[in-house]
Chains A and B, each alone.
Chain A
Amino acid sequence: MTFGDDDGRESVDRIEQLPVSDWTDQDLLTKDEARGRLVDEIGRCRARLDELKANNADESELALLARRLNAMESIAGEYDEYLDGK
């Protein structure tokens, strides 16, 4: 658990703020946000799958991960269709 650097200043990356009011509510996963999260997770999942294959991992573990990867790719594909067609 950390609350910032020793000198009391939080060390953070600068971000680009959205041009909307403070009270803009973003409390729901949008398709855009969901697709972004899925793309990141698909990348991590593929890397993990490659790593397991290289290490001759158990077939059932590989199958489980491959199923999850397929499910994520399928859902991301649906969001692509919607967002790219907008």
Chain B
Amino acid sequence: MPLQPWMELISVDDHLIEHPRVWSDRLPTKYLGAGPKIIEWERPDTGQMCQVWEYEGRIYPYIGLNAVAGKKPEQYGIEPVRYDDMIPGCYDPKARVADMDIDGVQAMTCFPSFPRFAGAVFAEGEDKELAKLCSAAWNDFHLDEWAATAPDRFVPVAMLPFWDLEASVKEIHRVAAKGAKCVTFPDLPDRLGLPSVHSDHWDSVLSAMEETDMVLAQHFGSGGFPPPIAPDAPFAVFITLMGTMSMTSMTDWLFSNTLYRHPKLKIGLSEGGIGWIPYILERCDSVWRKHRFYNNINQDHPPSYLFKKHIHGCFIEDDFGVETRHMIGVDKITWECDYPHSDSFWPQSRERAAQALEKVPDDEVHRMVELNAREFYNFPRAA
């Protein structure tokens, strides 16, 4: 039985649904009208009354899932459209802990929903002062209300007003002082119209991340860019290829010179799986050997050197990744639960993890399900 009862499952990829008062409880009075709030809205295709977010007059027709770029409102189907339809563990931290208890999960890392995984909705804001306040309000909600409910059960997450570097650096230091352990950051910032990680644009932000020793968590899809698929492809193609977005963002890092300027930066690839990592590392190193003579890339180390130094991945269901764990590095693998998304095995997460890791030695299981996450995220067991 490689997953022993004393091993605590730490998940590095989960989600919360913001309750209706997250922003109205925190924004200055003058911004309450334009700030995010829940309103009643009639779906134009079905006439069904839904609860939706309104922000600066724009309607965001989802409360229970993350917006999928390119998806039309009429394609939002049978997901919950009202808070009453959701399981309370989505938006109530006490109910979440109860669900974690029956699932055998000790701690979770909960990403945003309405603001999208890295807060890109606020980058769309017309009033940038309001946008910054909205971003900070989500952080205060997460740190003071959500994670504070059970400090040993939630790995605290923060987002950045990443369109403003100076404000982002200040926010990194502010949230670190309040106990944040990781910062969610767009997986492909260039797709949001910002400089890529190949530039030196992000240096001040990355230096602040090194100084505060938090993980830069890149959840796939957080840059709002969907995998390129045929317009008439079924949704299954889209879902299957989402993990390749992590492959793209990792390859960007490995061929950039940026990580050589930030030797202490820790990067977490959230929800992208791990089975593809040996392939892409082999491919990167092969390209580096053959093409470094004319590419503006580091000449001293192959890309896999940077992976080992900076990056960790996570898995929920990835038999191939578990089989090739030694090629990836057992110390580079973490586990995820993805609650409350339907990919989650709740309430059987622990049992399914035990099955997936059945043939793995105890010490390696312990590394992947608990110890690596505790070390990367500076999240020790409660005394």
Contacts and interface: CB of A to CB of B under 8 A. Distances in A.
B340 interface: yes
A52 to B, nearest CB: 14
Given A25-B65, A25-B68, A27-B341, A82 B347 contact: no
A38 B87 CA distance: 12
Interface string A3-39: 0000000000000001011111111111101100110
Contacts of A26: 77-79, 342
A18 B263 CA distance: 50
A29 B340 contact: yes
B98 A75 contact: yes
Nearest to B72: A23
Contact of A29 (B68, B87, B320): B87
B314 to A, nearest CB: 18
A21 B235 CA distance: 9
Given A37-B346, A71-B101, A25 B77 contact: yes
B68 A30 contact: no
Contact of A71 (B77, B102, B319, B323): B102
Contact of B79 (A30, A34, A37, A82): A30
Given A23-B235, A26-B342, A28-B65, A71 B78 contact: no
Among B320, B344, B346, max chain A CB count under 10 A is at B346
Interface in B80-130: 80, 84-87, 90, 98-99, 101-102
B75 interface: yes
B300 interface: no
Q: What size tier do the contact residues of chain B reach?
A: 35 or more
B76 interface: yes
A29 B323 contact: no
B347 A29 contact: no
B71 interface: yes
A41 interface: yes
B102 A28 contact: no
B346 A29 contact: yes
Given A22-B234, A22-B235, A30 B86 contact: yes
Contact of A72 (B84, B235, B347): B347
Given A26-B77, A28-B90, 4 more contacts: A23-B235, A25-B76, A31-B85, A79-B87
Interface of B: 64-66, 68, 71, 75-80, 84-87, 90, 98-99, 101-102, 234-236, 319-320, 323, 339-344, 346-348
24 contacts: A1-B319, A1-B323, A18-B78, A21-B77, A23-B71, A24-B77, A24-B235, A25-B65, A25-B75, A26-B78, A27-B79, A27-B342, A28-B64, A28-B65, A28-B90, A28-B342, A29-B340, A29-B346, A31-B86, A34-B346, A68-B102, A72-B102, A79-B87, A82-B84
